[in-house]
Amino acid sequence: MSPVTRIAIIGGGPAGYEAATVAAELGADVTLIETDGVGGACVLYDCVPSKTLIATSERVTAFRSAPSLGVCSNHAAEVNVNLRVVNERVLALAASQSTDIHERLVKAGVTVIAGRARFSPQQSGRTFLLDVVGNGKQPDDQHAVPADVVLLATGGTPRVLPGAEPDGERILSWRDLYTLQDVPEHLIVVGSGVTGAEFASAYSEMGVPVTLVSSRAKVLPGEDPDAADVIEKVFTEHGGSLMKHARAAAVIRSADGAGVEVTLTDGRMVTGSHVLMCVGSVPNTAALGLEHVGLAPDEHGFLTVDRVSRTAIPGVYAAGDCTGVLLLASVAAMQGRVAMWHALGEAVQPLRLKTVAANVFTHPEIATVGIGHEAVTSGAVPARTVTLPLARNARAKMQGLADGYVKLYCRSATGVVIGGSVVAPQASELILQITTAVQLGLTVNELAATFAVYPSLSGSITEAARQLTQHDDLD
């Protein structure tokens, strides 16, 4: 009988906890070390809290638009958000999600240590040694954890712009938002990437005057420009204002302390009551004692991995945001699982980024999968495409939805579906159908022959496939 493999996982976010679950199921002896709480930054500070907040902002929009569908109340014109209640709900939900995951891990047989881990300066042959300093929540605060395999899943931290350091009161990182007791009088959001766009959209839906400071010509660089156009239109319709080609140089509290002043690199200044800094994140790889096992991060601090999550050091794997592969919880989780399948000798399919579905939780949402606008318009990938505006979909009309579309890409010669995007409320749910087609290599003919419910938004996906099929017939 082969000896049980000892696996140590540093970091309890999606990469770490999914890996721990898989490894425990496969019979390994698994120890997971997490400093803040199981679920990691994803559950406690980033993804879960932000999407819970957005659930509130969606309700506000539904409430506001209700009169256009004939729903009236005496107070229909007045919608107020009690941010203290919202944030209490957000934090309670995150804590309970963390507890759920913790309990699941313990039940699966994983040893969970609350503490901070790093490679020990004393390494011992083929066994890795980790030093763990507890966070005071457990009686024995120092641990030495030996392991045959180590998974680094340490995630990232909000990037701080020098001269714009968060103070937790008015100059905020996205992790400070949930301490706010009242809605800001005027929120400035610096950074129009996914995080900035999501918070700008959510707060403006909640009736807060928002100024979004974007260093680019369009918000959401990297997304389809058609989608960015829709988001900009809806954001401004909600009363948000957009500053383009605007890069923040410094952020300070105003002289009376009751507001903030954002100075741009071109000398312009924006004032507001609060500023939210969304200028990316940095990987948590600086204090892991990597040098003791001969591992070095790249120039941006990321750990380079291959498609089965191996680093350059045999037996040391890395997964999730600390690798910089794609900063998504779903990708982190898959990298973590793949690492364990590989380490424990299971059959494993290397990570395929072309099949990753991603969503921007703005209003409306933007969901994408596979080959996208940039690859097709640059000519890098020959493809045929069709775009169907939501405004023509019967169900969308019934629901009073005007903004958004379904876009599908297929290979020019074969009609195999290689990508698509959906801009709609609940696009995150609708994209699965295109993702399935991309994952299974379905053709537009096969997708077109699939029944969609009538009337439904997903009917636009099969209709798009039908239109590409008709093109096929003409080829």
Ligand X SMILES: Cc1cc2nc3c(=O)[nH]c(=O)nc-3n(C[C@H](O)[C@H](O)[C@H](O)COP(=O)(O)OP(=O)(O)OC[C@H]3O[C@@H](n4cnc5c(N)ncnc54)[C@H](O)[C@@H]3O)c2cc1C
Contacts of 2 (CB under 8 A, 6+ apart): none
Out of 21, 61, 173, 195, point to the residue binding ligand X (CB under 6 A). 195
Q: How far is the CB of 221 from ligand X (least distance, A)?
A: 16
Q: Which is nearer to ligand X, 79 or 91 (CB)?
A: 91
Q: Which one, of 53, 280, 20, lies nearest residue 156 by Cα?
A: 280
Between the alpha carbon of residue 456 and those of residues 58, 363, 462, the distances in Å are 20, 19, 10
Stretch that binds ligand X, among 14-22, 137-145, 383-391, 419-427 (CB under 6 A): 14-22
Q: How far is the CB of 114 from ligand X (least distance, A)?
A: 9
CA atoms within 13 A on the CB side of 423: 24
Contact status, residue 241 vs residue 189, Cβ threshold 8 Å: no
Stretch that binds ligand X, among 115-123, 262-270, 337-345, 394-402 (CB under 6 A): 115-123
Out of 129, 210, 327, 371, point to the residue binding ligand X (CB under 6 A). 327
Out of 35, 87, 433, 435, point to the residue binding ligand X (CB under 6 A). 35
Residue 42 binds to ligand X (criterion: CB under 6 A): yes
Q: Which one, of 81, 55, 80, 87, lies nearest residue 179 by Cα?
A: 87
Residue 13: CB atoms within 10 Å: 31
Stretch that binds ligand X, among 113-121, 362-370, 390-398, 408-416 (CB under 6 A): 113-121
Out of 328, 376, 438, 464, point to the residue binding ligand X (CB under 6 A). 328
Tokens coding 226? 């058609």
Q: Which is nearer to ligand X, 11 or 297 (CB)?
A: 11
Task: For 237, list phi and psi in degrees, rounded to 5.
Answer: -60, -30
Contact status, residue 9 vs residue 32, Cβ threshold 8 Å: yes
Task: Tell whether the torsion through CA atoms of 183, 186, 188 and 189 is positive or negative.
Answer: positive
Length of the chain (residues)? 475
Residue 10 binds to ligand X (criterion: CB under 6 A): yes
Cis peptide before 67 (omega within 30 of 0): no
Stretch that binds ligand X, among 62-70, 215-223, 242-250, 324-332 (CB under 6 A): 324-332
Separate counts of helices (H) and strands (E) for the chain? 12, 22
Q: How far is the CB of 155 from ligand X (least distance, A)?
A: 2
Residue 309 CA to residue 151 CA, distance in Å, equals: 9
Q: Which is nearer to ligand X, 195 or 393 (CB)?
A: 195
Residue 283 binds to ligand X (criterion: CB under 6 A): no
Out of 172, 329, 424, 430, point to the residue binding ligand X (CB under 6 A). 329
CA atoms within 13 A on the CB side of 218: 13
Out of 13, 191, 297, 415, point to the residue binding ligand X (CB under 6 A). 13
From residue 43 to residue 72, the character string flagging contacts with ligand X as x (rule: CB under 6 A) and all else as - is ---xx--xx---------------------
Binding residues for ligand X, how many (CB under 6 A)? 37
Stretch that binds ligand X, among 8-16, 215-223, 248-256, 462-470 (CB under 6 A): 8-16
Residue 235 binds to ligand X (criterion: CB under 6 A): no
Residue 302 binds to ligand X (criterion: CB under 6 A): no
Q: How far is the CB of 222 from ligand X (least distance, A)?
A: 14
Between the alpha carbon of residue 413 and those of residues 85, 213, 372, 416, 419, the distances in Å are 55, 43, 18, 8, 15
Residue type, 385: T
Residue 435 binds to ligand X (criterion: CB under 6 A): no
Q: How far is the CB of 414 from ligand X (least distance, A)?
A: 31
Residue 34 binds to ligand X (criterion: CB under 6 A): yes
Task: Tell whether the torsion through CA atoms of 337, 339, 343 and 349 is positive or negative.
Answer: positive
Residue 355 binds to ligand X (criterion: CB under 6 A): no
Stretch that binds ligand X, among 37-45, 66-74, 298-306, 449-457 (CB under 6 A): 37-45
From residue 140 to residue 169, the character string flagging contacts with ligand X as x (rule: CB under 6 A) and all else as - is -------------xxxx-------------
Residue 292 binds to ligand X (criterion: CB under 6 A): no
Between the alpha carbon of residue 315 and those of residues 118, 119, 295, 311, 340, the distances in Å are 15, 13, 12, 8, 11
Out of 14, 193, 370, 459, point to the residue binding ligand X (CB under 6 A). 14
Q: How far is the CB of 304 from ligand X (least distance, A)?
A: 15
Q: Which long-range contacts (CB under 8 A, 24 or more apart) does 259-268 make?
A: 259/170, 260/170, 260/171, 260/188, 262/164, 262/188, 262/190, 262/213, 264/213, 268/243
Between the alpha carbon of residue 403 and those of residues 228, 232, 311, the distances in Å are 12, 11, 44
- Summarize as ranges the residues that interact with ligand X (CB under 6 A): 10-16, 33-36, 40-42, 46-47, 50-51, 116-118, 153-156, 174, 195, 284, 288, 320-321, 327-330, 332, 361
